Amino acid sequence: MTQQASISGLILAGGRGTRMGQVDKGLQPFRGKTMAAHVLERLAPQVAQVAINANQNPDTYAALGVPVWPDDLAGFAGPLAGMETGMRRCRTEFLLTAPCDSPFLPRDLAARLLAALRAQDADLAFAVTQEPGQRPQPHPVFCLVKAALLPILSRYLAEGGRRMDGWYKDLKAVEVLFEDADAFRNINTLDELHSLDTTRAPRLADVTSCLSAYDPDALPVRDAQRIIRDFVQPVQAVEQVALRVALGRVLARDIVSPINVPAHDNSAMDGYALRGADLPADGQVRLNVIGTVYAGKPMDVAPQAGECVRIMTGGVMPAGCDSVIPQEFVAEEGQESIVIAAGVLKAGDNRRFAGEDLKAGSAALKAGKVIRPADLGLVASLGIAEVPVRRRLRVAFFSTGDELRSIGQALDEGSVYDSNRYTIYGMLQRLGCDIIDMGIVRDDPAALEEALRSACENADAIITSGGVSVGAADYTKQIMARLGDVTFWKIGMRPGRPLAFGRVASNGHSAFLFGLPGNPVAVMVSFYFFAREALLRMMGADAPLPLLRARSAGAIRKKPGRTEYQRGILSAGEDGVPQVRITGSQGSGILRSMSEANCMVVLHDGQGNVSAGDLVDVLMFEGLV
């Protein structure tokens, strides 16, 4: 790396940060400092001086110790406006621009662009990268330009031109190929920022080291669940959606009630509102009815001693009244009066207090809740039309195996239809994920790598099935391991012993990986007991598995030492208490018994044989989000 005396560096931080939710991109914290500070640190050693082009927060940028130059052109006209300002103000022959969200920019950017520009006697040079088998990807914002070309750029801008690669059509531009595409990775959303910020993300080794005895080849279910729980990170992006659209989504922030619910003291019954002091200790009392209050039609009356008001359910309590007697408890004397006997009502009965459901300023719903129909109603009762929810989780999935065929293909000898992609589809759909079905991937290293990379680049999580068991071709594991921080477990459970878990990365994107076993039942069991809770956590929800207790209808043989999952049918026993019976064959490939079942019986690792009548843990399928 050499410092180029003829070049001034300009960090482009003049945007509005629209995609970051209006935050100033360059000032976002990333690995312990602001993004602009990272860019400055990389750029400063390469050039004579650095300035920052920013249109907001000038003082904060100036604190980095470099000049801050706002656009000369008004109205956030994009990176070219920053470049124009830079070319006008810099005192060197060349200007080098780099965006404020590129913390990994190459350390030899200036040297290589300048060498190419000089070698070809060009007007400007910019970076390109190329992935194997793909077209070159230009990065026109990483640009070295002769400052003397300012008039040409100004003319282009004055004519309304805004395209970074539009203004130099008639100039000589050279592309300079850089090897490392990741170096040009810019960070457009807060989500990307957080997913790249590995100081926030633990490493698997850090998480597993918290366990007192960690043996990946004999891992108890509970430990695997805990490692997964500690390792995954929720997506950060929040979107504001119309109330109904929020059904099934995860609430991103508490909903604070702006009002008391109910807003006024009101009646819980159709009857008569009265003063508790008028109730007779013995005998009976006659009260005069001085008016009627309907729900939604409050009446400005204040009954005196010996008076009452006819009131409907939800009607606002008249001043001075603290009790409502249901109409069936009184003897009505025409419209004028009622007679109440002693002992039928206590003072204070049937009155709902203002704020009884919810006090103004209190949290009506807590962040992290998966929004259900009752929550829609609750939010509506507060008069709130839109709610903040986490963005949907994107999950890519594929099946591995040369023996697999898709529906519609012929089933040649030895092949089977791919059913896992359908069960996984169903389970992800129920969770409310955005899904990317990547089909069947052959047992071939290149195909597998390509699939994993593409999944990484497009999704937050990846679910694969097959290829992680002992007998499977070894390269599945090798490739998963090569692309990231992945561990391979043998879990003390049946069905579904093998499981791959971790985080894989490609081109600066990363995704959590769940490599589930291939057997159709094992895939579902592993999904429900490992992936489901992790995915919900990534969605921002805290939703542990809802296990119930039920009586076992028959004896179940069970060896202590591993967790067993049996397919069961839960029903009401003769005495109405829930009881569960195991469905027929429990082979790990037999989907039919899964389909017949309505629950899984969970026999924990410490547990031995179960006798008829013993209580066991059960996970119901219905209602399982």
Q: Please name the residue that has the structure tokens 């249901």.
A: 326
Nearer to Mg ion, 382 or 525 (CB): 525
DSSP state of 268: S
Q: Smallest gap, in angstroms, from Cβ of residue 562 to ligand AMP?
A: 18
Nearest position to ligand AMP, beta carbon: 518
Q: What is the DSSP string of 122-186?
A: -SEEEEEE--TTS--EEEEEEEEEEGGGHHHHHHHHHTT---TTTTTTTS-EEEEEES-GGGG--
Q: Smallest gap, in angstroms, from Cβ of residue 501 to ligand AMP?
A: 15
Of 76-84, 286-294, 467-475, 524-532, which segment contacts ligand AMP by CB under 6 A?
Answer: 467-475
CA–CA separation, 305 vs 303, rounded Å?
7
Cβ count within 10 A of residue 350 = 20
Are 267 and 315 in contact by the 8 Å Cβ rule? The answer is yes
CA–CA separation, 370 vs 247, rounded Å?
8
- Phi, then psi, of 284 in degrees rounded to 5: -145, 170
**Site mask for ligand AMP (CB under 6 A), range 378-417, x = bound:** ---------------------x-x-xx-----------x-
Nearer to ligand AMP, 17 or 518 (CB): 518
Q: Smallest gap, in angstroms, from Cβ of residue 496 to Mg ion?
A: 14
Nearer to Mg ion, 141 or 462 (CB): 462
Q: Smallest gap, in angstroms, from Cβ of residue 577 to Mg ion?
A: 43
Nearer to ligand AMP, 83 or 486 (CB): 486
Is 466 a binder of ligand AMP (CB under 6 A)? yes
Of 259-267, 466-474, 503-511, 539-547, which segment contacts ligand AMP by CB under 6 A?
Answer: 466-474
Of 99-107, 356-364, 513-521, 568-576, which segment contacts ligand AMP by CB under 6 A?
Answer: 513-521
CA–CA separation, 107 vs 230, rounded Å?
35
SS3 34: strand
Nearer to Mg ion, 9 or 466 (CB): 466
Q: Smallest gap, in angstroms, from Cβ of residue 563 to Mg ion?
A: 24
Is 517 a binder of ligand AMP (CB under 6 A)? yes
Of 109-117, 235-243, 510-518, 534-542, which segment contacts Mg ion by CB under 5 A?
Answer: 510-518
Binder among 401, 432, 498, 515 for Mg ion (CB under 5 A) = 401
Binder among 101, 418, 460, 564 for ligand AMP (CB under 6 A) = 418
Site size with ligand AMP, rule: CB under 6 A = 19
Binder among 469, 487, 552, 583 for ligand AMP (CB under 6 A) = 469
CA–CA separation, 8 vs 89, rounded Å?
10
Of 32-40, 118-126, 516-524, 546-554, which segment contacts Mg ion by CB under 5 A?
Answer: 516-524
Q: Please name the residue that has the structure tokens 């069936």.
A: 328
DSSP state of 1: -
Q: Smallest gap, in angstroms, from Cβ of residue 620 to ligand AMP?
A: 25
Measuring CA to CA, how many Å separate 490 from each of 389, 466, 484, 513, 560? 36, 14, 19, 16, 17
- 180 CB contacts (<8 Å, ≥6 apart)? 106, 129
Is 466 a binder of Mg ion (CB under 5 A)? yes
Q: Smallest gap, in angstroms, from Cβ of residue 467 to Mg ion?
A: 5
Which sign, positive or negative, has the C-alpha torsion 467, 471, 475, 481?
Answer: positive
Which of ligand AMP, Mg ion, none has residue 404 at its interface (CB below 5 to 8 Å by kind)?
Answer: ligand AMP
Which of 156, 40, 179, 180 lies closest to 99, judged by CA?
40
Of 269-277, 363-371, 468-476, 574-582, which segment contacts ligand AMP by CB under 6 A?
Answer: 468-476
CA–CA separation, 76 vs 277, rounded Å?
70
Nearer to ligand AMP, 386 or 403 (CB): 403
Which of 606, 384, 588 lies closest to 492, judged by CA?
606
CA–CA separation, 464 vs 485, rounded Å?
16
Is 471 a binder of ligand AMP (CB under 6 A)? yes
Interface positions with ligand AMP (CB under 6 A) = 399, 401, 403-404, 416, 418-421, 465-467, 469, 471-472, 517-520
Interface positions with Mg ion (CB under 5 A) = 401, 466-467, 518
